Amino acid sequence: MLLRIQAASGLVFAVFLFTHLLNTWLSALGAPWYDAFQRPVGTIYQWLPVETLILGALVVHVVCAVLRWRRAPEGPVGLSVRQRLHRYSGIFLMVVVGGHVAAVRFIPGWYGIRPEAMGVSFTLQYLPGYFYPYYFLLGVSGFFHAANGLVIAASRFGCRFRLSTPNLYRLGTGAAVLTLASLLGFGGWIYAVGDAFDAPFARLVLELIGERPSA
């Protein structure tokens, strides 16, 4: 039962996650592409019933993982490289996703703003040594965990959907290239990015951390 609940919650969250990653990758083409996709699509996933479903599925998925570890806390002994990567990417996502949602959704949402492309650009300009590797790992781990998770979830519901390990790694490499390209876009290496420190998200963050007087 627990395995099926985890699979079902993972499938629900994966719909959001693949949309979100596609949105992120569009930034390689230009910030207007990112914002033009996110504004209408975000209206759907931030509609209270939908957002509750997405974030609820995420919480249920994480709780299932913790319960499974408590029941069978065996280490990675005997696991294949693919299974280990699934586990490690899941642990990484579990550790960072709460902070990510708080930073880009709950806190700005409370003040009535959205980060948009300029907000992500600001984080990269403000703390590049942290945010380039962080977003890169977030994008790659998110894609790998969701893609491999789809195969696992399909098998839990009796569906024989196969994705060979070499093909999974090829897809993962593609996701890594797209994530890197999107970060180069947000970071101003592909097209000019304006003054990200003047964006609403940047002004909010700088005010909250006391680096800018409140208006």
d(CA 215, CA 202): 13
Does 190 interact with ligand HEM (rule: CB under 6 A)? Answer: no
Closest to ligand HEM by CB, 139 vs 172, is 139
Q: Identify which range of 60-68, 83-91, 114-122, 161-169 contacts ligand HEM by CB under 6 A.
A: 114-122
Q: In the set 138, 153, 193, 202, which binds ligand HEM (CB under 6 A)? A: 138
State the CB neighbour count (10 A cutoff) for residue 113: 15
d(CA 76, CA 80): 9
Q: In the set 105, 156, 203, 212, which binds ligand HEM (CB under 6 A)? A: 105
Supply 193's token pair: 């990015």
Residues 41-100 contacting ligand HEM, CB under 6 A: 42, 45-46, 51, 55, 93, 97, 100
Question: At its nearest, how many Å lie between ligand HEM and the CB of residue 18?
Answer: 10
Specify the DSSP element, H or E, that contains 103.
none
d(CA 117, CA 35): 6
d(CA 65, CA 7): 11
Residue carrying the six token digits 């949602």: 101
Number of residues that bind ligand HEM (CB under 6 A): 24
d(CA 14, CA 199): 30
Does 35 interact with ligand HEM (rule: CB under 6 A)? Answer: no
Does 142 interact with ligand HEM (rule: CB under 6 A)? Answer: yes
The answer to whether 87 and 73 are in contact (CB under 8 A) is no
Q: Please report, as ranges, the residues that interact with ligand HEM according to CB under 6 A.
A: 17, 20, 24, 38, 42, 45-46, 51, 55, 93, 97, 100-101, 104-105, 114-115, 119-120, 135, 138-139, 142, 179
